[in-house]
Homo-oligomer: A and B are copies of this chain.
Amino acid sequence: MKITLIGGGKLGKQLYNGCTAASEIELVQWVVRSAQRGKTPEGISLVNDVNVLHPTDLYLLAVSDQAIPKVAAALPEQAFVVHTAGGVALDVLNQNRAGVFYPLQTFSEGRNMDFSKLPIGLESKDASDLPLLEKLVQALGARAFHMNSKQREQLHLAAVLVNNFTNHLFAEAATICSQNDLPFELLNPLIQETVNKLEYLSPKAAQTGPAVRHDQKTIEKHLTLIQERSLQEIYKVVTLAIQKKQ
């Protein structure tokens, strides 16, 4: 299958690596806005303009949410255009042949993404285009899940909770450790166990701590220990939410 990849950001780079490593995928051109035209070290045609594209089976957009409609509008009307965003509806793509390829992962600079087993949310305007998306997922070694735009935006919200918000809690914990001359690494086994527990317990059943046991003395003590207003707010609302949920 011939593919055009558009976008040179974090996700674009990972998709570039994934596509060039997969023998079933022929990456024809890679569009990177800030790049000089030429060839990548892997011999792929590198361009900086969507108006010089060769026809391919699929145009994969790894651009910012805001840029998706504009970039799609610049592509041929008959092209099969696929975006990669969790929170953007399928219908922002004006082409009749349009789809979504949403990799449920966080992508960081300098980290090589392992596509194997990675869940990819798939959607297409026309069901006859799904097999091509499934073939792409398979070529990358990932796992395909069909979902509509409503499910995908909810999944994106859930991803924000378990990744962005969880990471913020890690950042707050790291600050507490550093302010008290404690290595953040002390918390690693606890963090790992918090995740490992999910294999055999639902998170609701796994809930422990002062909030769920209504240990008001510890809760009030923690609130006096916290200096920063924003962390105090988090402590209060999450404690109440835990107590409401159980």
Contact = CB atoms under 8 A, between A and B. Distances in A.
B145 A186 contact: yes
Interface residues on chain A, size class:
35 or more
Interface of A: 65-66, 87, 104-108, 110-111, 117-119, 145, 147, 150-151, 153-155, 157-174, 176-177, 179-182, 186-195, 197-198, 200-204, 206-212, 215, 217-218, 221-222, 225-226, 230-231, 233-234, 237-238, 240-242, 244-245
Number of copies of this kind of chain in the complex: 2
Nearest to A234: B237
In the A-B complex, the 8 residue pairs with the smallest Cβ-Cβ separation, listed nearest first, are A164-B209, A170-B203, A158-B173, A171-B203, A230-B241, A233-B237, A158-B176, A154-B180
Given A161-B176, A164-B207, 17 more contacts: A65-B217, A66-B217, A87-B218, A104-B186, A108-B201, A118-B189, A119-B189, A151-B182, A155-B180, A155-B182, A157-B176, A159-B173, A162-B170, A164-B209, A167-B207, A174-B204, A233-B240
